[in-house]
Chain A
């Protein structure tokens, strides 16, 4: 049971992120919800690689025993970098929309309809 706690936490963070994205009305909070989903996915990825009683995956002066899987750590680093670029671009979009529309309420930022 205790080994499932990271997965449960990751699932909870993803669900909280999705709920934030759909229920909040401010554009910045929607972007925050997207960041929460991304953090949840990162936590899930790192937790997948854990091996019980494992050591850090560094070859130099390594002790005996199995190493935790390093591939997921590389995947998580890549995703963090992608997340930085995405969040920066989304926040700059929100800034320009606020400057032009004078509002950041998602129900009013909807000129393209039908």
Chain B
């Protein structure tokens, strides 16, 4: 690997070299800004606990957003599609075999002109 080449797709190229340069520049900028931070903050003391305007902090388990609640908007918007698709995955072996044979039948008609 002598040097970083440009990958040509036939319509343009992607050069990882520019990405690496941009990443290096932004990393150095970020480090310079971090160096100017407050250095008198001690970890593990009162300074690190979350502050909620004096209210009591809830249980750690309740604060964390679980996976089942994420992307609720997406699954709700595509409800018609999901209510068709998820019951199709029944978990029953004979349905899987029927799908396989159905695809063979469709391909025999389309690709081989059997019927």
Contact = CB atoms under 8 A, between A and B. Distances in A.
A110 B94 CA distance: 11
Nearest to A25: B94
B12 interface: no
A18 B91 CA distance: 19
B93 A113 contact: no
A99 interface: no
A111 B91 contact: yes
Interface string B91-115: 1111001100100000000000000
Interface residues of B, number: 10
Contact of A113 (B91, B94, B97, B101): B91
Contacts of A9: none
B39 interface: no
A36 interface: no
A102 B97 CA distance: 24
B90 A113 contact: yes
B81 to A, nearest CB: 14
Nearest to B98: A22
Given A30-B93, A110-B90, A114-B89, 9 more contacts: A18-B101, A21-B97, A22-B94, A23-B94, A106-B94, A107-B92, A110-B91, A112-B91, A113-B90
Interface of B: 86, 89-94, 97-98, 101
14 contacts: A18-B101, A22-B94, A22-B98, A22-B101, A23-B94, A25-B94, A106-B93, A107-B92, A109-B92, A110-B90, A110-B92, A110-B93, A111-B91, A112-B91
